[in-house]
Structure 1
Amino acid sequence: MLVVSEEVREALDAGRAVVALESTIIAHGLPRPRNLQVALELEDTVRRAGAVPATIAVLDGRPRVGLAKDQLERVANEDGIRKLGHRDLPLAVAAGASGATTVSATAQLAALAGLRVFATGGLGGVHREWTATQDESADLGLLARTRITVVCAGVKSILDVPATLQRLETLGVAVAGYGTDRFPGFYLSDSGHPVDWTLRSPEQVADVMRAQDALDAADTALIVANPVPEAEQLDPALHARVLADALHACDAEGISGQGVTPFLLDYLVRHTDGASLEANLAAVRGNVRLAARIASAWARG
């Protein structure tokens, strides 16, 4: 059922570096035609760093790990491409549907194919006002039972960051800052919250991955929180002002549940004149570069 591309399969069989990439940013995160341009750019970034990219999606009911150019074009341009979390995968397979994979679905399929390193933008997490809504991303539960290293820029700043960190601790998911003792805030280099561990090289990250295996630890993820460079982050004052306005607008319009995140993200893009999107892309590019270096260090053994 799982289709692994020839390029990815050959790399895995040869013990070469492979990096998993999600497809939601292609289908739902960027406007056309920039989405395809970014997808190709990210794959090229992985290759230039000496690793093989494995963009993951479901096409016509077949989960695919590694996409050809025409398949990337389908994800970027085809109307009706669904957004699939890991809970949706059996339904999409049975229905013969096509969809872009979120963090949770990408991590699950990557691990199933034998990949250990995954690059994304920011994780989902615990939503604000959780005590009233009980709204928490499926990413957290999936990462609590999946052995994969996720390179990300922390969690989206629209979320409850301290509650998310607490939840990750409760679930037993290890979190380390890359070159920092502060937890990144997606658009921001520093969310205002610390991390307990700092890793300073791809080799150190690979050592932690090997220690996970040697200790026969629980099958949980390793989160490598890689901050967006300060020069490329969203201006913190602008971020604070627009996010406060966005939360007020969301409440005023009575938006709740799954509608909150897309509303807030869209509000940030529109009211920062696209600066939040550029910070998002800067974070993704940095995460992809780092993930390729980590995958290479892991492959070297």
Structure 2
Amino acid sequence: MRNLNQENITEAVIRSFDGAPNARLKDILSNLVSHLHAFAREVQLTEEEWTQGIEFLTRCGHITDEKRQEFILLSDVLGLSMLTVAMNNEKSAGCTESTVFGPFHVSDAPHYELGADISNGARGTSCLVRGVIRGLDGKPVPEAEIDVWQSDEDGLYDVQYADLDHAQARGILKSDVEGRYSFRSVLPVPYAIPNDGPVGQMLDQAGRHPWRPAHLHFMITAPGYQTLITHVFREDSDYIDSDAVFGVRQSLICQWGLQNDGSYLLEYDFVLQSVASDGLATPVSQCETTT
């Protein structure tokens, strides 16, 4: 540990983990140090820039609370979230693709009966969402738990309203015996990710916009199947090709059909991956549109 310099310090730090009892932790920390040091050398990181980086991460920590997760936001805009999803959610051909979780899910969303209006006062144009949840074999998945959440017409989630004391535009339902699901909510619109903090400042300085295309979030769980975390995107939405968090997949883009009464209809079928299944995804769109 004596006489360390820029040529030998990396190896010394990596050797310091030799006694780690957890082999996976040792591997992660060793590779983290290796790549982090290589990054510093490649960009010739100055002490002033290092200080600015520490201050940036500190601000991310200070703004994070039970309703806002700035570190997830940072991971999202750097593409790390989507990379992790892609590496860990390869699926068999025909299964619904996964995408980023996002920072606005809550674990205690209200439960609703099928066909209920989950908007619960959220502002926006009325929208009916329905479809079927199936396995790759085509059989319906009954009693699948469907956790759905979205923003309102102002592009804000309920948790972003400081004075709101109840859930809006989110809820948990279960598919029926034939795998069918349905609920009413509001038409999703594009929205900007929270950009009043350090991540927003970083995007601005990098010349990037903070916008996401219109979408609904879904998390679907059922015994015997892998949990699916995904979105369904509006085909006609702005930013569909420049999502700030890199979450768009072609198979998840659908048309919302305008109905005669001015409301909208989305029909989308989900195909779940069996826990026992293997294989790579060849995504197939599962949306239908009725006008």
Place the TM-score, normalised by the shorter chain, in its bin. Answer: under 0.3
Q: Which has the higher contact order (CA 8 A, sep 6+)?
A: 2
TM-score (norm 1): 0.26
Structure whose alpha-carbon radius of gyration is higher:
2
